[in-house]
A = this chain, B = another copy of it.
Amino acid sequence: MARSGNPAGEPEPVRRRLLAEATRLFAERGFESTSVQEIVTAAGVTKGAMYHYFDSKDDLLHEIYGRVLRLQMERLTKVADGPGTVTERLHAAAADVVLTTVENLDDSKIFFRSMHQLAPDTHKSVRAERRRYHERFRDLVSEGQREGVFRADIPADIVVDFFFGSVHHLGTWYHTDGPLSGAEVGAHFADMLLTSLRP
């Protein structure tokens, strides 16, 4: 199931293609409404091949989550641990998560529509990882509150839930061909967040 040690560097096109098509289809019609047959047909492979690379349909979803969770945490860590004032870092982190979300809008759609379909254990582990991500973000808010640059009369947790609700819902309204680019929406969202935190 894990990426097989492919010493030659071959890009495992089958596995990759399966994940890509599954992502597209899950985002388009939802996890439950996408059949394994549709996924393998779209990827141009057979069912047997899919069950060779993945344990189950659930496993496919889990892998998609793993990919996006790793990516987001990596980018947040880079910004949060980087240079700059807490205001600058929170602004950058907020703008960046909006940008990466609209750049991977399918992943985002899947996340909030289908997470509850995972087997309980898998579900729990995904939620735990997401919580760690939110905590890192919350720590930035708390840091600013302690320093007195952000208002402290709103719990940092609420601020995080407030902001990530907005981010997670991008999938329901944002369109690439709409009037605003991802960066522009990111700027507006980060502005609103920072403004709402002004003491």
Residues of A within 8 A of B (CB): 29-30, 32-33, 112-113, 116-117, 151, 154-155, 158-159, 161-170, 172-173, 180, 185, 188-189, 191-193, 195-198
User: Bound state CA distance, A17 and B129, in angstroms?
Assistant: 38
Expressed in whole angstroms, the Cα–Cα distance for A185 and B155 within the complex equals: 10
Q: How many subunits of this chain does the assembly comprise?
A: 4
B contact residues around A196 at 8 Å (CB): 191-193, 195-196
Minimum distance in angstroms from A155 CB to a CB of chain B? 7
Interchain residue pairs with CB less than 8 A apart (13): A30-B116, A32-B33, A32-B117, A33-B117, A155-B180, A158-B188, A161-B173, A162-B188, A163-B166, A165-B166, A165-B169, A192-B196, A195-B197
A161 with B169: in contact, given A116-B29, A188-B154 (CB under 8 Å)?
A: yes
Find A195's partner among B112, B161, B165, B195 (CB 8 Å cutoff): B195
Most chain B CB inside 10 Å of its own CB: which residue of A154, A162, A193: A162
Least Cβ distance of A172 to chain B in Å? 7
